Amino acid sequence: MVILEGRGITKEFGGLRAVSEVDFVLNKKEILGLIGPNGAGKTTIINMISGTYPPTRGRVIFKGNDITGKKPYKIGRMGISRTYQIVKPFPGMTVKENVSVGAMFGARGKELNAKESIKKAEETLEFVGLQDMANKRADDLSVASRKRLEMAKALAMGPEVILFDEVMAGLNFSEIDKAVELIQKIRDEGISILVIEHVMRAIKNVSDRIFVLHHGIKIADGTPDEVLNNEQVIKAYLGRRYKELVQ
Ligand SMILES: Nc1ncnc2c1ncn2[C@@H]1O[C@H](COP(=O)(O)OP(=O)(O)O)[C@@H](O)[C@H]1O
Ligand SMILES: [Mg+2]
């Protein structure tokens, strides 16, 4: 069953076409990987889905409803949350307070008062394994914990779809494996996930399907094996040495 769909989504910034006529489908409880070189248009796809800015052309369909061009807070309340590639915790606040804000502005935001939001934050921190950091200031965390906090903020919104933008960048191998486990655990909760990542080992292991962007154009779409062995993908992105990198 399809939960989120992009139909011919296109974004132009002045004369630059960052994303061109991209179609994609995210099924319920699926992990869909999105890869491509820097500047390929990956973050722009997330920005168009989450309402940061509207597509120049094309439609975004969520659970059968056209959500194209809706404001970010409305899309958040409808059940789509995201992380940011450059993590943006509220620096003066504790980890728990940061996650409470996510809970308060999320899909169940209209229902949760401050006390309930704090409770939701505590449950979410437990779920992602950050409970011991709950009372630390967000800006005192390591890179790996900050990325995890970013994931917790998105998760606390109670979404049906999460868009992860490079939540593994800057992590070491064991931290990457833990992040992969967490993404799978989130999917097991019934959440559908779009994940942008450069770490090939991770994206290969975590994704049910992958699609590839190059200069804003979708050049491949399929299972991880199909996509990572696609000649055009190897040429445009992975390079000849990719097999050494993923194995
Ligand atoms: N707000 C913006 N204004 C102008 N150009 C932008 C903006 N956002 C992204 N771009 C441009 O669009 C292209 C795609 O960027 P982006 O989606 O961030 O790529 P990726 O996430 O794949 O690295 C790049 O050339 C980038 O410079
Ligand atoms: Mg990006």
pLDDT at 167: 94
Query: Can you tell me which atom of ligand 1 is nearest the CA of 40?
Result: 22
* Spatial separation of the C-alpha atoms in residues 234 and 240, rounded to whole Å: 7
Residues bordering ligand 2, an ion, CB closer than 5 Å: 42-43, 85
Give the closest ligand to the alpha carbon of residue 84: 2
Confirm or reject: Cβ of 11 under 6 Å from ligand 1. Answer: no
- pTM value is 0.94
Asked whether residue 171 carries a pLDDT value surpassing 60, the answer given is yes
* Spatial separation of the C-alpha atoms in residues 45 and 6, rounded to whole Å: 9
Q: Is 178 helix (H, G, I), strand (E, B) or coil?
A: helix
Q: Measuring from atom 26 of ligand 1, which residue has the nearest CA?
A: 39
pLDDT at 106: 77
pLDDT at 175: 95
pLDDT at 177: 95
pLDDT at 107: 72
Mean pLDDT of the chain: 93
Give the closest ligand to the alpha carbon of residue 44: 1
pLDDT at 244: 53
Mean pLDDT lowest for which of 49-58, 62-71, 227-236? 227-236
Tell me how crowded residue 243 is: count the other CB atoms within 10 A of its CB.
Answer: 12
pLDDT in tens, 27-52: 999 999 999 999 999 999 999 999 99
Mean pLDDT, range 148-154, rounded to an integer: 96
Helix segments in 79-223, DSSP class H: 95-104, 114-128, 143-156, 173-188, 200-206
pLDDT in tens, 71-117: 999 999 999 999 998 887 888 899 999 999 888 877 765 678 888 89
Confirm or reject: Cβ of 47 under 6 Å from ligand 1. Answer: no
Mean pLDDT, range 13-36, rounded to an integer: 97
Of the pLDDT bands very low, low, confident and very high (cuts 50, 70, 90), residue 65 is very high
pLDDT at 88: 78
Give the closest ligand to the alpha carbon of residue 10: 1
Confirm or reject: Cβ of 10 under 6 Å from ligand 1. Answer: no
If one residue of 19, 34, 43 were mutated to test the ligand 1 pocket, choosing by the most ligand atoms within 8 A of its CB, it would be 43
* Distant-in-sequence, close-in-space partners of 80: CB < 8 Å, separation ≥ 6: 4, 49, 50, 62, 67, 159, 160, 161, 162, 163
Both tokens assigned to 53: 């800015």
Q: Distance, CA 211 to ligand 2 centroid (Å)? A: 15
Mean pLDDT, range 3-10, rounded to an integer: 98
Q: Distance, CA 44 to ligand 1 centroid (Å)? A: 6
φ, ψ (nearest 5 deg) of residue 85: -60, -45
Set out the domains of the chain in order of their start, with CATH numbers: 2-79+161-246 (3.40.50.300), 90-159 (no CATH)
63 against 241, higher pLDDT: 63
Q: Measuring from atom 1 of ligand 1, which residue has the nearest CA?
A: 13
Confirm or reject: Cβ of 40 under 6 Å from ligand 1. Answer: yes
pLDDT at 226: 96
Short-list 206, 245, 246, 199, CA closest to 223:
206
**Is the distance from CB of 213 to CB of 41 less than 8 angstroms?**
yes
The two beta strands, 2-13 and 16-27, are antiparallel
pLDDT in tens, 187-243: 999 999 999 998 888 999 999 999 999 999 999 999 999 999 999 999 888 875 565
Confirm or reject: Cβ of 38 under 6 Å from ligand 1. Answer: yes
Q: Distance, CA 190 to ligand 1 centroid (Å)? A: 31
pLDDT at 83: 94
Q: In a 10 Å sphere around its CB, with 0-12 CB exposed, 13-18 middle and 19+ buried, how is residue 240 labelled?
A: exposed
Q: Where on the phi/psi map is residue 21: left (φ > 0), alpha (ψ -120 to 50), or beta? A: left
**Is the distance from CB of 155 to CB of 124 less than 8 angstroms?**
yes
